[in-house]
Chains A and B, each alone.
Chain A
Amino acid sequence: MSHSISNAVRRKDAVAKASGTTEYLSDQFLHSPYHAKCFYSTVSRGKIISRSLPDLPEDYYIIGADHVPGTNSLHMIIDDWPVFADKEVRYLGQIIYLVIGPDKEKVLELHSRIKIEYQELDPCYSLEDSASLLGGVQHGEDNVFTRYDIHHGNVEDAFAGTVKILENEYYTGYQEHVYMEPQSMFAFWENDSFVLHASAQCPFYIRKSLVGALGMEPEKVRIIQTATGGAFGGKEHFPDVLAGPLAVAVYHIRQPVKLVLDRKEDLAYTIKRHPSSISIRTAVDGDGTILAHDINLRLDGGAFASCSAVVLARAVFTVSNVYNVPNVRICGRVFCTNKVPSDAFRGFGAPQAVFAMESHMNYLAYELGVDPLAFRQPYLLKQGDATITEGKVHEKVLLPEMTERALEMSGYKEKYERYKNIPGKGIGFSYFLHGCGFTGNGERDLIKARIYLKKDEQDHVFIYASNVEMGQGLSTTFCKVASKALDIPFDQVDFVGPDTAIVPDSGPTVASRSISVVGYLVQKAAERLKEEWVPGEQQMITQDYSPPEGLVEWDQEALKGDAYPAYSWGVNIVEVEVDPLTCEVDTKGIWGVYDVGVPIDRQIVEGQIIGGMVQALGYSHLEKLENRDGRFKQATMADYMIPTSMDFPSTEKDILDNPFEYGAFGAKGAGEMVFDGAAPAFGAAVSQAVDAIIDEVPVLPETLMELTDEGQ
Chain B
Amino acid sequence: MKDNKIEFTVNGGKKVYDGDPLRRLLDVLREDLELPGAKEGCGEGECGACSVLLDGKLVNSCVVAMGTIGGKDVLTVEGLKETEQGKCIIEAYADAGAVQCGFCTPGMVMASEAILRENPEPDEQTIRKGLSGNLCRCTGYDQIVDAVKLASERGKGLW
Count chain B residues whose beta carbon lies closer than 8 angstroms to a beta carbon of A.
54
B153 close to A (CB within 8 Å)? no
The reply to whether the CB of A709 lies closer than 8 angstroms to some CB of chain B is no
| Chain A residues near B144 (CB-CB < 8 A) | 645
User: Which chain A positions have C-beta within 8 A of B8?
Assistant: none
CB-contact partner of B47 in A11, A13, A472, A637, under 8 A? A637
**Residue ID in chain A nearest B49 by CB atoms:** A180
Known: A10-B95, A179-B137, A613-B140. A229 touches B42 (CB 8 A): no
The segment out of A16-24, A381-389, A449-457 that lies at the interface is A16-24
Residue contact A24 to B39, C-beta cutoff 8 Å? yes
Please measure, in the bound complex, the distance between the C-alpha atom of A30 and the C-alpha atom of B94, giving whole angstroms.
Answer: 26
Q: Is B30 an interface residue (CB 8 A)?
A: yes
With the chains together, A577 CA to B34 CA distance in Å?
Answer: 48
Interface contact B141-A614, CB-CB below 8 Å? yes
**Min C-beta distance of A629 to chain B, whole Å:** 24
Which of A11, A23, A232 is most buried by chain B, counting CB atoms within 10 A of its CB?
A: A11
Please indicate the chain B residues that have their CB under 8 angstroms from the CB of A30 in the complex: 30-31, 34, 36
From A263, which residue of chain B is reached at the shortest CB distance? B42
- Contact yes or no, B103 A180, CB < 8 A: yes
Looking at the complex, which one of A24, A262, A637, A644 makes contact with B132 (CB distance below 8 Å)?
A644
Chain B residues whose CB sits within 8 angstroms of the CB of A231 once the complex forms: 101
Which of B106, B109, B141 is most buried by chain A, counting CB atoms within 10 A of its CB? B141
Q: Count contacts on A: residues with CB < 8 A to the other chain.
A: 58
Q: Give the distance in Å from the alpha carbon of A610 to the alpha carbon of B128 in the complex.
A: 15
CA distance A263 to B101 in the complex (A): 17
Interface residues of B in 17-42 (CB under 8 A from A): 30-31, 34, 36-42
What is the CB-to-nearest-CB distance from B143 to chain A, in angstroms, rounded to a whole number? 6
In the complex with contacts A27-B36, A610-B143, A180-B135 CB distance below 8 A: yes
Closest chain A residue to B134, Cβ basis: A645
Provide the bound-state CA to CA distance between A304 and B70, in Å: 51
Instruction: Decide if B90 touches A637 in the complex (CB within 8 Å).
Output: no
In the complex, the answer to whether B101 meets A229 with C-beta atoms within 8 Å is: yes
Contact with A along B74-98 (1 / 0, CB 8 A): 0011100100000001110111011
B103→A181 contact, CB < 8 A: yes
Known: A13-B102, A17-B99, A182-B41. A645 touches B138 (CB 8 A): no
Answer whether residue A403 sits at the interface, using C-beta atoms and an 8 A cutoff: no
Within the complex, what minimum Cβ distance (angstroms) separates B25 from chain A? 16
Asked whether B4 is an interface residue with its Cβ less than 8 Å from the other chain, the reply is no
Q: Does A603 contact B (CB under 8 A)?
A: yes
Contacts of B93 in A (CB 8 A): 14, 18
**Could you tell me if A26 and B139 are in contact, using CB atoms closer than 8 angstroms?**
no
Q: Would you call B66 an interface residue if the criterion is a C-beta within 8 Å of the partner chain's C-beta atoms?
A: no
Any B CB within 8 A of the CB of A691 = no
B14 interface hit (Cβ, 8 Å): no
Given known A-B contacts A11-B99, A180-B47, A263 and B41 have beta carbons under 8 A apart: yes
- In chain B, positions 125-153 with a C-beta closer than 8 Å to chain A are 127-129, 131-145
A239-247, A316-324, A427-435, A646-654 - interface stretch: A646-654
**Does B138 contact A611, Cβ atoms closer than 8 Å?**
yes
Instruction: Check if B137 sits within 8 Å of A180, measured CB to CB.
Output: yes
Whether, in the assembled complex, A636 has its beta carbon less than 8 Å from a beta carbon of chain B, the answer is: yes
A11 to chain B: which residues have CB within 8 Å? Answer: 94, 97, 99
A212 in contact (CB, < 8 A): no
Q: Do residues A180 and B140 form an inter-chain contact, with CB atoms below 8 A?
A: no
A227 proximal to B (CB < 8 A): yes
A534 at the interface (CB under 8 A from B): no
Q: Which residues of A contact B (CB under 8 A)?
A: 8, 10-11, 13-24, 26-27, 30-31, 177-182, 227-232, 262-263, 470-473, 603-604, 606-607, 610-615, 636-638, 642-646, 648, 650-651
By a beta-carbon cutoff of 8 Å, the part of chain B in contact with chain A is: 30-31, 34, 36-44, 46-47, 49, 76-78, 81, 89-91, 93-95, 97-106, 109, 127-129, 131-145
Closest 6 CB pairs of A and B: A20-B37, A17-B102, A471-B101, A229-B103, A614-B140, A610-B140
14 contacts between A and B (CB under 8 A): A15-B90, A18-B93, A18-B99, A18-B102, A21-B81, A24-B39, A27-B39, A179-B137, A180-B41, A180-B137, A181-B101, A607-B143, A610-B143, A644-B133
